Chain A
């Protein structure tokens, strides 16, 4: 059962992040996901200080607020003329630093381990069960991640066409009367939510891997957005399962192994993808060259 809970947790994180990651990658905003995942730290710390306990809902709320503040700040800096990558770098490191100070200053009062926030500890997931009326309903993390996954899935399914057109052609979307800014912040809100829900299990840093790598891998495998979403979920699930057993084999960090497997899948796809892979492109080029040569002869 232990194995199952851990793998399920990893898969839920990967699936949630994979879906959102596709839109981040397509909108060339992958690094905004990175920024959010870091800058939620002060939100978590403040929620912790206020609540005095690891109350998940309060932490979720604090982090989600910080996530949105991050996005707004980045956009403010960009609009005032700063480059987008510089704006992202300034905002998230500054907020992250504040979070680090908050946690280290209050380390004696609060039981919040910085290592745990940064790298997560998915192995502890099965121990923290949700008890309701004396019944053990399974790990808290599963409920939280499952809920987040459902929220993301339903939102994306309901507004699929809006998210799609906002990613492809925001100008037309706006001209058609689709509230582009609303969907931008909705996407960012979902990213914040998923990041926070995931940080306890895979950590604030590795969640970035789950946001970007499965989506980037899926991007290399298909020319259809719908399939890209599906593939990124499948790749995430394979990474979680594979990563868990790899961690067992090498007695290593589970979350680290999951992202490593994900990275290996990306490299394999990058090399061997039938449509966009390095090798298939190379052979196509060779064939074309050969064909041309034959025509000449």
Chain B
């Protein structure tokens, strides 16, 4: 194998002297879908931003395909959290996707017919071709997320970083994203996804990185996504976790268990929210289905204790 798509070595990040990530080291193999998991405030988004050089690091190094990020920038695609931009910005879907090409254009070239064509193809791949001319504020949350994915596709990268692409999206979009991820993997690309929904981890990801301010574990989902590791990652909320691992162990058996666990993890997430930065707030309220109310009650009690 030799060169890894991403090697993180002793990465340490601090916000105003408060360490958010301390000495995180791991490397990921090529051609895999990798889930980055951890409770709120565990530093998942922070790690992504540090890897991309968007925030200063205190120490450690990041290598992408054996080079620094600056040298390998064109091989990397990035999907920020959907709430990180102002969707009232006066522009349309096609225009946003074309922004993914800016990195290839250099300082002075303007996006032209070629960029337009690529952007249209990418929109088509996420099933959004009909919405190319649509003002972005007129799109639903799921459609906006797909526009963001199309933009990352337009970057034509070999390594992708996606910050909570599943947050607050509808079932159609979730399916569209997953099939897209599989397509990318088939093309030999590597995708790192910050993810929250523990119940879908076994189904979606080949590898996981468990974070909690520091690295808890990293490796293949089968070996790493265990109750013991999750306990270390999420602390005291064990009841919920056992539930999730059980649910996913019984993987094929049903929608029913798969359906009930995401709510639980989300509830727990809410309960453990104290001191959390604003990063995921907007999504949290949105994606909890109404029917979840009943299931929430006992769990709310558990997480309060």
Q: Does A219 contact B (CB under 8 A)?
A: yes
| Pairwise interchain contact A177-B89, C-beta atoms closer than 8 A | no
Name the B residues within 8 Å of A168 (CB-CB): 85-86, 89, 91, 96, 99
Name the A residues within 8 Å of B91 (CB-CB): 164, 168, 223-225
Cross-interface CB contact of B92 among A26, A177, A223, cutoff 8 Å: A223
With the chains together, A275 CA to B99 CA distance in Å?
25
Name the B residues within 8 Å of A174 (CB-CB): 52-54
Binary CB contact string for chain B from 48 to 91 against chain A (1 if under 8 A, 0 otherwise)? 01001110000000000000001001001010100011100111
Name the A residues within 8 Å of B105 (CB-CB): 161
A218 to chain B, nearest CB (A): 9
CB nearest neighbor in B for A227:
B90
Given that A169-B99, A171-B84 are contacting pairs, would A223 and B135 also be in contact in the complex, using a CB cutoff of 8 Å? yes
Q: Does B114 contact A (CB under 8 A)?
A: no
Q: Does B16 contact A (CB under 8 A)?
A: yes
With the chains together, A164 CA to B98 CA distance in Å?
12
| Pairwise interchain contact B90-A228, C-beta atoms closer than 8 A | yes
| Pairwise interchain contact B103-A177, C-beta atoms closer than 8 A | yes
Interface of chain B residues 100 through 116 with chain A (CB within 8 A): 102-103, 105, 107-108, 110-111
| Pairwise interchain contact A225-B90, C-beta atoms closer than 8 A | yes
| Pairwise interchain contact A169-B80, C-beta atoms closer than 8 A | yes
Cross-interface CB contact of A161 among B92, B96, B111, cutoff 8 Å: B111
With the chains together, A167 CA to B90 CA distance in Å?
11
B86 to chain A, nearest CB (A): 7
Name the B residues within 8 Å of A177 (CB-CB): 70, 73, 103
Name the B residues within 8 Å of A172 (CB-CB): 78, 80, 99, 151
Residue total for A at the interface (Cβ-Cβ under 8 A): 28
CB nearest neighbor in B for A81:
B16
Name the B residues within 8 Å of A165 (CB-CB): 99, 102
Cross-interface CB contact of A178 among B52, B78, B85, B102, cutoff 8 Å: B102
A269 to chain B, nearest CB (A): 14
Name the B residues within 8 Å of A158 (CB-CB): 108
| Pairwise interchain contact A175-B90, C-beta atoms closer than 8 A | no
Name the B residues within 8 Å of A28 (CB-CB): 86
Name the B residues within 8 Å of A249 (CB-CB): none
Given that A172-B78, A174-B53 are contacting pairs, would A222 and B99 also be in contact in the complex, using a CB cutoff of 8 Å? no
With the chains together, A174 CA to B90 CA distance in Å?
21
CB nearest neighbor in B for A180:
B54
Name the B residues within 8 Å of A26 (CB-CB): 86, 89-90
Name the A residues within 8 Å of B155 (CB-CB): 176
Q: Does A160 contact B (CB under 8 A)?
A: yes
With the chains together, A165 CA to B91 CA distance in Å?
11
With the chains together, A26 CA to B91 CA distance in Å?
11
Given that A169-B99, A171-B84 are contacting pairs, would A219 and B54 also be in contact in the complex, using a CB cutoff of 8 Å? no
Binary CB contact string for chain A from 47 to 62 against chain B (1 if under 8 A, 0 otherwise)? 0000000000000000
| Pairwise interchain contact A175-B102, C-beta atoms closer than 8 A | no
Cross-interface CB contact of B52 among A81, A162, A164, A175, cutoff 8 Å: A175
CB nearest neighbor in B for A221:
B90
| Pairwise interchain contact A169-B76, C-beta atoms closer than 8 A | no
Name the A residues within 8 Å of B99 (CB-CB): 161, 164-165, 168-169, 172
B110 to chain A, nearest CB (A): 6
| Pairwise interchain contact B85-A169, C-beta atoms closer than 8 A | yes
Residues of B whose CB lies within 8 Å of any CB of A are 16, 49, 52-54, 70, 73, 76, 78, 80, 84-86, 89-92, 96, 99, 102-103, 105, 107-108, 110-111, 135, 151, 155
Q: Beyond the given A158-B108, A165-B99, please list 9 additional residue pairs across the A-B interface where CB-CB is below 8 A.
A: A28-B86, A160-B110, A161-B99, A162-B107, A174-B54, A175-B78, A177-B70, A224-B92, A225-B89
Q: List 19 A-B contacts (CB under 8 A).
A: A81-B16, A161-B105, A164-B91, A165-B99, A165-B102, A167-B89, A168-B99, A171-B49, A171-B54, A172-B78, A174-B52, A174-B54, A175-B53, A175-B73, A176-B103, A219-B90, A223-B135, A224-B91, A225-B90
The 10 A-B pairs of least Cβ separation, nearest first, read A176-B103, A223-B135, A175-B78, A171-B80, A175-B52, A169-B85, A168-B89, A177-B73, A225-B90, A223-B90
